Structure 1
Amino acid sequence: MHFLYPVIRKLLFSMEPEKSHDWSLGFMKKLEDSPFRFLLNQTRVDDPCELWGLTFPNRVGLAAGLDKDAAYIDALGALGFGFIEVGTVTPKPQPGNPKPRLFRLEKSEAIINRMGFNNLGVDNLVENVKRSNFDGVLGINLGKNKDTPEERAAEDYIIGMEKVFPHSDYITINISSPNTPGLRDMQFGEVLNELLRSIKQKQSELQNKYTKQVPVLVKIAPDLSDAEIEQVSDSFLTHKIDGIIATNTTVSRDAIAGEPLAKEAGGLSGRPLEAFSTEVLSKMNQALSGRIPLIGVGGIYDKETAIGKFAAGASLVQLYSGFIFKGPRLIEDVAKAAQIHFKRR
């Protein structure tokens, strides 16, 4: 597939971004179900990594957001990812924000999105996961419904955990999307502590029920001050959170000031996010003294920026915008770079 991507990208980038997103996933699924699936298949870099009692075939994953309903797991898995994170999914289906809500900044190799957790609901996602045959590690990213009051948000995450626990290798709690009103407020203080208490209690109950260990990770925003990083780190350590994904998209526009689309609301991802996403990752790792494993995501567009995440403390990395701009070859390049980096240590 990677040798065809420059041609495919021209076609995709000629379309409106959300239409391009939907069309490309649909096309990949058709390929995967056809005699031409060899066009999709990439040899997966074999570089096993043990973490949370799981064996990751390699250290490169797909970030949440691309396959919200887990409808394309097998097609995406054919590209060589060691792990895939699907979602964000909410208990009830919701349409998300009004269109247009996805914007491509080609010059900056960036994307702005304000999708708003558009998805068909957790029951639909679970049925899709049951039908998949992906042999890597599968994470499921959970959010809250837009119409759920903040004081009842924990209930949405608990519902999600109960539904996906038997079908996931790990679970991510998303409290860092900028596109659901009030969601990021849950990253701080007693609100965060209450949420983490509820989640860890439910995790323990479910592990006893299913006799299965499923780590729970929390995805954080890059727009955190040093004091906030220290504060949330203390909460994560206190409640024994299994892992952290750093980071989600940013609401800052400093890196793209003056661009025509810079004033569009939503989260910014891609190349402009890389430096301060990696900085937050590094500061989080320092605040935790390496006691909680980290997944690095945000602005990886080549092997050097991936190595930057590993050097900052990440055990694994995830791709999204870089994958859109660079194509499937990036997966192999980053996986091979990770293999070399960790062998040298």
Structure 2
Amino acid sequence: MRQAFYALARHALFRLDPESAHRLSIKALKSGLVQWRPAGDVDPRLAVQASGLQFANPLGMAAGFDKNAEVATEVLRLGFGFTEIGSVTPRPQTGNPQPRIFRLHSDRAVINRLGFNNDGHAEVLRRLQKLTAARPGPIGVNVGANKDSDDRIRDYALGITVFYDLADYFTVNVSSPNTPGLRDLQARENLTLLINAVHEARAASRSGNKAEKPIFVKVAPDLSEEDLEDIVQVAADCALDGLIVSNTTLSRQGLSAARHAGEAGGLSGRPLFERSTIVLAKLRKRIGPKMTLIGLGGVDSADTALEKIRAGADLVQLYTGFVYEGPAIVCAILNGLSRAVERENAGSIAELRDTHLDRWADKPMPL
């Protein structure tokens, strides 16, 4: 019944431009009317421990949906194991001119060139301070740099400092294609400087017996084998906590829709699945079993979420799949993962990690 209701609601939402539809979705969550997964309906076999954090299940909402920390608790109450707000920059910024989001319905994909539009550190901090200490799950803060910043590394470090007491983990977003020059921070020398700076900010923000909050770096899917080697080496040298693989792609490979396919920006959704999963597996193969990897890109079903885990992910995230499938996607994926654990007679979802690692890691890098 609820899924049928969402199908009708989606039809109405999709008649609106994407940004208006998104604002309406946020308002619906704020109203408290949208609560999809019953409280306490949790399969303990889906629990995951990663980077010192406990997750009730491995499914998270990716950054971009709740940029400004307006509905972090409400998102978790849908059944997600964690959520990530942002990207947040020190100063508010409006982002790129509209229109800047384009739906590719037949491909279950989206192209966006938002450009880190957000309310800035001060406003997002104010909202996070209102959250109760008893959160339904971990809340991550995705930090970014202002487009016109004269010191982007300083912007990232400032994000760690400002949100240290309120974030459960941090994501350093150096892979958005919509801020000119940002992806240059993935280069070996620049990435080393950046990670060292955010680690110093973390060390300075700790006091007493405060836990050390994990810091993940979100990477692009448009990487060469040499780029992967550089990222792995920097991650090892700098004792990075983990990687999120991956952000949106500049590639248009595999698209069937002609309308909007030529728009500039990053492509997300179903066409990104194979590309991002290959990169995920290749990084897992190189980086070893201990570092936390979060799989993102094209997750829109239990099968795709499970395949990310089989390819090396400890946790998975989605966003575009939520746009097309609605809140019921959370239950559908978690129920599917539970069935997979049962079917394979595993003690936990973590036991299924890496079971298809070689299959994905041996594939050639996408063009």
Q: TM-score scaled by structure 1?
A: 0.94
- The one-letter amino acid of 1:289's match is G
Give 3-state SS (helix, strand or coil) of 1:61's partner. strand
Matches within 5 A, 1:218-237: 218-237=217-236
In structure 2, C-alpha distance between the alignment counterparts of 1:189 and 1:77, rounded to whole Å: 35
Give 3-state SS (helix, strand or coil) of 1:255's partner. coil
In structure 2, the CA distance between the partners of 1:82 and 1:107, relative to structure 1 (3 Å rule), is: same
- In the other structure, the counterpart of 1:169 is 168
Q: 1:59·1:338 contact (CA, 8 Å) conserved in 2?
A: no
Shift of 1:302: 1.0
Structure 1 residue 40 and structure 2 residue 40: aligned? no
- The one-letter amino acid of 2:137's match is G
In structure 2, C-alpha distance between the alignment counterparts of 1:311 and 1:202, rounded to whole Å: 34
Shift of 1:278: 0.4
Give 3-state SS (helix, strand or coil) of 1:93's partner. coil
Structure 1 residue 140 and structure 2 residue 141: aligned? yes
- In the other structure, the counterpart of 2:75 is 76
In structure 2, C-alpha distance between the alignment counterparts of 1:2 and 1:102, rounded to whole Å: 25
Instruction: List per-residue Cα deviations over 1:90-147 (Å, max 9, x = no partner).
Output: 0000000000001111010000000100001011111111223442110000000000
Shift of 1:74: 2.5
- In the other structure, the counterpart of 1:334 is 333
Greater shift in the superposed pair: 90-99 or 3-12: 3-12
Instruction: List per-residue Cα deviations over 1:214-247 (Å, max 9, x = no partner).
Output: 1000000000011111111110111011011000
- In the other structure, the counterpart of 1:315 is 314
Q: 1:93·1:120 contact (CA, 8 Å) conserved in 2?
A: yes
- In the other structure, the counterpart of 1:114 is 113
Give 3-state SS (helix, strand or coil) of 2:73's partner. helix
Instruction: List per-residue Cα deviations over 1:153-211 (Å, max 9, x = no partner).
Output: 11001111111110010000000000011000100121111111111222222234672
Shift of 1:332: 1.6
Give 3-state SS (helix, strand or coil) of 2:111's partner. strand
- The one-letter amino acid of 2:347's match is K
Q: 1:90·1:119 contact (CA, 8 Å) conserved in 2?
A: yes
- In the other structure, the counterpart of 1:95 is 94
- In the other structure, the counterpart of 1:17 is 18
In structure 2, C-alpha distance between the alignment counterparts of 1:288 and 1:208, rounded to whole Å: 31
Give 3-state SS (helix, strand or coil) of 2:140's partner. strand
Give 3-state SS (helix, strand or coil) of 1:70's partner. coil
Shift of 1:257: 6.0
- In the other structure, the counterpart of 2:179 is 180
Percent of counterpart pairs with the same letter?
A: 39
Greater shift in the superposed pair: 100-109 or 330-339: 330-339
Structure 1 residue 265 and structure 2 residue 259: aligned? no
In structure 2, C-alpha distance between the alignment counterparts of 1:12 and 1:159, rounded to whole Å: 37
- The one-letter amino acid of 2:200's match is Q
Q: 1:174·1:219 contact (CA, 8 Å) conserved in 2?
A: yes
In structure 2, C-alpha distance between the alignment counterparts of 1:58 and 1:175, rounded to whole Å: 27
Q: 1:166·1:210 contact (CA, 8 Å) conserved in 2?
A: no
Matches within 5 A, 1:194-273: 194-208=193-207, 211-256=210-255, 259-273=258-272
Shift of 1:256: 1.5
Give 3-state SS (helix, strand or coil) of 1:4's partner. helix
- In the other structure, the counterpart of 1:296 is 295
Instruction: List per-residue Cα deviations over 1:65-84 (Å, max 9, x = no partner).
Output: 00100011132222111101
Tell me the number of residue pairs that the alignment of Structure 1 and Structure 2 aligns.
Answer: 337
- The one-letter amino acid of 1:343's match is G
Q: 1:45·1:332 contact (CA, 8 Å) conserved in 2?
A: no
- The one-letter amino acid of 2:293's match is L
Greater shift in the superposed pair: 80-89 or 285-294: 285-294
In structure 1, C-alpha distance between the alignment counterparts of 2:198 and 2:244, rounded to whole Å: 16
Greater shift in the superposed pair: 241-250 or 19-28: 19-28
Q: 1:251·1:266 contact (CA, 8 Å) conserved in 2?
A: yes
Q: 2:111·2:267 contact (CA, 8 Å) conserved in 1?
A: yes
In structure 1, C-alpha distance between the alignment counterparts of 2:265 and 2:209, rounded to whole Å: 38
Give 3-state SS (helix, strand or coil) of 2:155's partner. helix
In structure 2, C-alpha distance between the alignment counterparts of 1:140 and 1:199, rounded to whole Å: 13
In structure 2, C-alpha distance between the alignment counterparts of 1:210 and 1:131, rounded to whole Å: 23
- The one-letter amino acid of 2:7's match is P
In structure 2, C-alpha distance between the alignment counterparts of 1:161 and 1:135, rounded to whole Å: 22
Q: 1:242·1:293 contact (CA, 8 Å) conserved in 2?
A: yes
Structure 1 residue 343 and structure 2 residue 357: aligned? no
Q: 2:104·2:257 contact (CA, 8 Å) conserved in 1?
A: no
Give 3-state SS (helix, strand or coil) of 1:254's partner. coil
Shift of 1:85: 0.3
Pairwise CA RMSD of aligned residues?
1.6
